[in-house]
Structure 1
Amino acid sequence: MSYSRIGVVTGANKGIGLAIVRQLALQYPESPLNNGRLLIYLAARDQSRGESALQSLYEDIDLKKAKALQTDGAFSEIKYHALDITDTRTIESFAQHLKQAHGEGIDFVINNAAIAMQGFDSNVVKTTLGCNYYSTLEACHAFLPLIKSGGRLVNVGSTAGKLSKYSDEIRNRFLASRTESDVTQLMEDFASAVEAGKEKEMGWPSAAYAVSKAGLIGATRALALAEQEKGGTVLINSCCPGYVKTDMTRGGGVKTPDQGAQTPVMLAIADLKGQTGMFWRSEKHEEW
């Protein structure tokens, strides 16, 4: 089977990630980027859950009504692939598979995989930053060289990562950051402040998830700047899906997963008119 476009969604076996895959299949036929059949990789760390999620999509009533997946002439196909972004080996293995199977490159990656832990201490901070910041960026660096000219890299951040709860000094350092190293230094400083029990005194919120997402927003902007400086044309953006009712929000939330999927899907398959390095929410650009 040949495909005109190839996309990847990480952390896609449930919640927002699964909804993103679903909405991609539903919306791609009307996308201005539709130039033929789309293959979507539903990437998740647990094979049984990933394959179960895949089966649920092929049994989805709305997808059946739209004939999005079920017929020979369908616009999209979905495949499961193993990926644990906290395991370098699986990142490398998946990247190698993509390179071998799709030698001309892929069209978009939506990095949705993330964790939100209860409590707050240095171990929570280390684990949360490890997944949401460092591992996501490792995935970015593995997949970005595979994305075609004009393709998309979308990192799912959060409004929790906006800069309203920081001291002026920390906020200004975030806003002045231009390289990934600048942002990584901020993450290291936060972890050190927490280890010393002085994060509030030093201008940080006591919130591991929020800081990890602030770091991801800043690093995404830095990746976009680096892409532009080397003359690349991949559009690199971060976004907030909104307050979505998922396992991660432990039953809270005001949006459904399908509603939360709208902005990531837009950034992957809509006409962005070249906009890159921005933070988006509710399908609109927001100031960080």
Structure 2
Amino acid sequence: MSKIALVTGATQGLGLALVEGLARRLSPQDTVYLTGRDLTRVNQAVEAMPGGGARVRGEILDVADPGAAARLAGLLRDRHGGVDIVYNNAVMRIGPGDDPREIVDGYVEVNNFGTTRVLRAFAPLLRDGGRLIVVASRLGSLRFLAPVLHHHFADLSSLDEVDEQVAAWRDAVKDGSARSGPWPGFVNIPSKIGQVAAVRALAKQRREEDAGRGILVAAVCPGMMNTPTSAEWWDVSDAPGPAEAAVAVLDLATEPVRGGQYGELVRYGGVQPWR
């Protein structure tokens, strides 16, 4: 059976590199779906793909649209019967000059609710040996959050619970109470923790079944990358570009699963501590 892969947020940066890498690693009978929210950019990215390897096919997917992930999942189910590899990579980026209170609605809609929508939509479609991977960061560990806040994300059992906690934090950012309390000012930290918490909650529900079917559900940290967005925050002149950073991320989808990776945040193949 031919393999079906999908990458969200794939018109640039790491997402584009993941599509290119999957196309090289998979076979000509396989298909990689390059998705994004802008049709013109999706088409341009597909047309610019180098030849050889798996077929690359474009589809529109705006994860901020509450129904979009489910609609695309239904389309792929009808076309192929299931999926083998899904990378949730779509992200709304912020700059140092952005006011968290003004951007947090859109930020959470894409980065967090977009993540849980993709998990809900595509987890049921995973075939045996499948991979469902959320691109997060090392900031997605509880150690980057004040201990008094750990209970918000530590032991959640469902994606609905994750969404509830993320929404409560979002509302605290909007009304200013987060700024006067122990929440970090850098909204990327609670957001990434929420993404990893979502992976952990889904894994808690699916662990036994997935173990028997060889399925991996995990979050991944690609490491610091040399991109224009990162350069607004840090000196990334010596950091790898997206293509180099994608190598270890791609290994999660195409190499055998290592012990302990299921349901965890993985960085360069190793499991990052949650607590």
TM-score by length of 2: 0.87
1:261 aligns with 2:246: yes
**Deviation for aligned residue 1:256:** 0.7
How many residue pairs match? The answer is 264
- The alignment's C-alpha RMSD in Å is 2.2
Distance 1:182 1:140 in 2: 14
1:119-268 → structure 2 map (5 Å cutoff): 119-228=98-207, 231-232=209-210, 233=213, 234-250=215-231, 253=236, 254-268=239-253
2:185 partner letter: S
The answer (yes or no) to whether the contact 1:193–1:202 under 8 Å persists in 2 is no
The answer (yes or no) to whether the contact 2:145–2:189 under 8 Å persists in 1 is no
Distance 1:184 1:212 in 2: 11
More deviation in 215-224 or 274-283? 274-283
Aligned to 2:78: 100
**Deviation for aligned residue 1:175:** 2.5
**Deviation for aligned residue 1:166:** 2.0
Aligned to 1:57: 49
Secondary structure of the 2:77 match is helix
Q: Cα 1:19–1:188, aligned 2, differ >3 Å: closer, same or farther?
A: same
**Deviation for aligned residue 1:217:** 0.6
More deviation in 272-281 or 182-191? 182-191
Aligned to 1:33: none
Aligned to 1:7: 5
Detail structure 1 runs of 4+ shifted over 6 Å in the superposition: none
Structure 2 unaligned segments of length 5 or more: list them. Answer: none
Q: Cα 1:88–1:172, aligned 2, differ >3 Å: closer, same or farther?
A: closer
1:48 aligns with 2:34: no
CA offsets, 1:123-171, max 9 Å, x none?
A: 3222111110012211221111111133110000112323333221212
**Deviation for aligned residue 1:39:** 1.1
Aligned to 1:64: none
The answer (yes or no) to whether the contact 1:128–1:209 under 8 Å persists in 2 is no
CA offsets, 1:67-101, max 9 Å, x none?
A: xx43xxxx411111111111234323322220111
Distance 2:154 2:59 in 1: 36
The answer (yes or no) to whether the contact 1:115–1:248 under 8 Å persists in 2 is no
2:5 partner letter: G
Give the one of 82, 85, 88 matched to 2:63.
85
1:21 aligns with 2:13: no
The answer (yes or no) to whether the contact 2:222–2:249 under 8 Å persists in 1 is yes
Distance 2:46 2:270 in 1: 30
Q: In percent, how many aligned pairs have the same letter?
A: 29
The answer (yes or no) to whether the contact 1:11–1:17 under 8 Å persists in 2 is yes
Secondary structure of the 1:148 match is strand
Secondary structure of the 1:91 match is helix
Distance 2:220 2:6 in 1: 16
The answer (yes or no) to whether the contact 1:236–1:277 under 8 Å persists in 2 is yes
Structure 1 unaligned segments of length 5 or more: list them. Answer: 30-35, 59-68
Q: Cα 1:93–1:186, aligned 2, differ >3 Å: closer, same or farther?
A: closer
The answer (yes or no) to whether the contact 1:9–1:111 under 8 Å persists in 2 is yes
Give the one of 83, 108, 116 matched to 2:93.
116
Distance 1:177 1:96 in 2: 28
**Deviation for aligned residue 1:226:** 0.9
